[in-house]
Amino acid sequence: PPPPPAVSLIEVGPRDGLQSESLFVPTPLKLQLIESLLAAGHTRVEATSFVSPKWIPQFSDANDVMSALSPAPGVELSVLTPNLQGAAAAASHAATSAMSVFGAASEGFTAKNINCTISESISRFGKVAAFAAEKGIPVRGYVSCVAGCPYQGAVPHEAVVRVYAAMREMGVGEVSLGDTIGTGTPEDVSALLAKIVAVEGSAAPVAVHFHDTHGSALANILRSLDHGVTKIDAAVAGLGGCPYAGGGATGNVATEDVVYMLEGMGVSTGIDLEKLVLAGRQVTEFLGTETRSKAGGAIYRRMVKEGRA
């Protein structure tokens, strides 16, 4: 099938990208990153997580971040809300325009990550979804480990479909399928999406979230487009990785690489690639790391050579 005319990119760098960084990124730099991403053309940014600072110290400033941001027309600032306490804190900020709940298709991962069974996790995030509905705030869901788990290995597609369906039943408007450890291949992703589209009737509520551990994220995104998926999670500079996914899980697919590929195919993303590259540089320079984006690295080197960076 021909590619879609446009896609919606969900920029997860400020949250999923930073959550496994041990170096605390100061609040002003987090805000600068978010503003730079919006200036580059992003309309959907996951800004922070209302999680206990004991578990993820990086987001101890979640209230400061959200109180410094302003709601803007056409811009969605989403936050991860793992429990009711986090959801209540998130809802107190005018800038919060969506909440994200989090589950996994693997019992092993759920036990290690949130210390409960899949069934218990569903009842937990069901409470958050109900709270958000009361407040009129849209809810996005994440299903982790859709293509493999660091603790149990293979994850049956039926387990993914079950968690996906539970989220949709509780009013979650969009469900992001996460290849948390980056082991998915195009064939596997294709088979899973075929099952989900068959259950759902369309790919409209489906987003994909690929980590690039084995270098197959772009191929997996391409195959997802064939199934009608037009919502793609990505992190600027390829930041991040899941803190619970074992030592081998590298970061999210880099937004710059996704934009470069899609725009080259004639698929509109609405993103200014050079502005995006510079947005990522601010954080990688602070962290003392290089970008994990091949396109981002090449474009920045060219900009430097031309005296524009």
In the structure, what pLDDT confidence band is assigned to residue 115 with cuts at 50, 70 and 90?
confident
User: Would you please indicate which residues are annotated as catalytic (active-site) residues?
Assistant: 242
CB proximity list for 270: less than 8 A, separation 6 or greater: 6, 9, 41, 42, 43
Q: What is the pLDDT, as a whole number, of residue 91?
A: 98
Q: What is the pTM of this model?
A: 0.96
- Which sign, positive or negative, has the C-alpha torsion 94, 95, 98, 104? negative
Pairing of strands 44-49, 139-144: unpaired
Residue 249 clears pLDDT 70, i.e. is over it: no
| Cα atoms in the 13 Å half-sphere on the side-chain side of 88 | 4
Q: What is the pLDDT, as a whole number, of residue 244?
A: 52
In the structure, what pLDDT confidence band is assigned to residue 240 with cuts at 50, 70 and 90?
confident
The answer to which of 2-6, 51-55, 248-252, 288-292 has the lowest mean pLDDT is: 248-252
Compute the average pLDDT of residues 104-126.
93
Average pLDDT, the chain: 95
pLDDT digits (tens, 9 = 90+) for 204-217: 999 999 999 999 99
C-alpha closest to that of 253 among 241, 243, 262, 245: 241
pLDDT digits (tens, 9 = 90+) for 70-98: 999 999 999 999 999 999 999 999 999 99
Alpha-carbon separation of residue 200 from 166, 174, 195 (angstroms): 12, 12, 9
Q: What is the pLDDT, as a whole number, of residue 250?
A: 67
pLDDT digits (tens, 9 = 90+) for 155-180: 999 999 999 999 999 999 999 999 99
